Structure 1
Amino acid sequence: MGVEPVGYVVGGRVPVEDDDWAGVEAVIRLDAERFGPEALYGLDGFSHLEVVFHFDRVPPERVETGARHPRGNQDWPLVGIFAQRGKNRPNRLGVSRCTLLRVDGLDVHVAGLDAVDGTPVLDIKPWMAEFGPRGEQARQPGWATELMKGYY
């Protein structure tokens, strides 16, 4: 299975850092050789996007397949890689929900996308309320709430 980037993150944050993403604005620039502006028609009707991207700066030898303490914090429990959202994932895929600011040609302007300048973007999807939690209220462990306090 091969996956090609649909575009790249331009601007925003350059260093890889974990927190304070809310005010970070960036552009997702589509590949002009594969897409025309019509690929983005109607996207501006949505307030939020889900963006799938590749953690391309994680060396393969740093990939985690077992359990670890999130961010190396021994006060948090040992949890499996699929019970956390760290970047050292088996396929090095990231998924982020961000705010859509505007669409300009092949440029998608966003805020709160937790991907750094130059990151390959694999897909862009509009976020729809129906894809949010259904039925019961969403739940998560206390350590996850604590970890996310300063993330956005």
Structure 2
Amino acid sequence: MTAKTVTLRPIGHVVGGRSEMYEDNWHDARAVIRLDGASFTTSTVLGLEHFSHLEIVFLFDRIDPATVNSRPRSPRGNPMAAPVGVFAHRGPYRPNRLGVSRCRLLTVDGLDVHVADLDALSGTPVLDIKPYLIEFAPRQPVTQPAWATELMARYY
């Protein structure tokens, strides 16, 4: 199968919140997702205010594509953690530099979607917004390695 090129256009960008990357304490980080007024109207967010949480797809635009490789590495560079493949962790150095975050919806004001707990930096291009539905939560118990629990203990 031949790989096809996919072109995505941001729907908006993150305003406010953090401007520099550091890995922990995203709890209550507040930001606005400002949708592109040239491409969208308020009809695109009609009904969004009825949801408590959103899933945000964004681009890790500050990551230089030349620095991305698929070799196994220790999560967050932790020498105590065994190396894992790029698809076995959630770091920003990914082949397509895509980030996915679940965050709390605070309010919708026109084309401004106010959120908390979004782990994306101010200026980050947003590619999609989806409401989080309970029915998409895992139906079976969730398991993960101990290193993931330890590394994420202070994330939110």
TM-align CA RMSD:
0.6
Using the size of structure 2 for normalisation, the TM-score is 0.95
**Which of 71, 74, 78 is the matching residue for 1:69?**
74
List aligned pairs for 1:32-111, cutoff 5 A.
32-111=37-116
Unpaired runs of at least 5, structure 2: 1-5
**Which of 145, 148, 152 is the matching residue for 2:152?**
148
**Which of 27, 30, 36 is the matching residue for 1:25?**
30
* Percent of pairs with identical residues: 58
Unpaired runs of at least 5, structure 1: none
Match for residue 143 of structure 2? 139
Distance 1:82 1:64 in 2: 11
Distance 1:64 1:121 in 2: 23
Is residue 2:118 matched to residue 1:116?
no
Match for residue 3 of structure 2? none
Using the size of structure 1 for normalisation, the TM-score is 0.98
Is residue 2:37 matched to residue 1:2?
no
Letter paired with 1:106: L
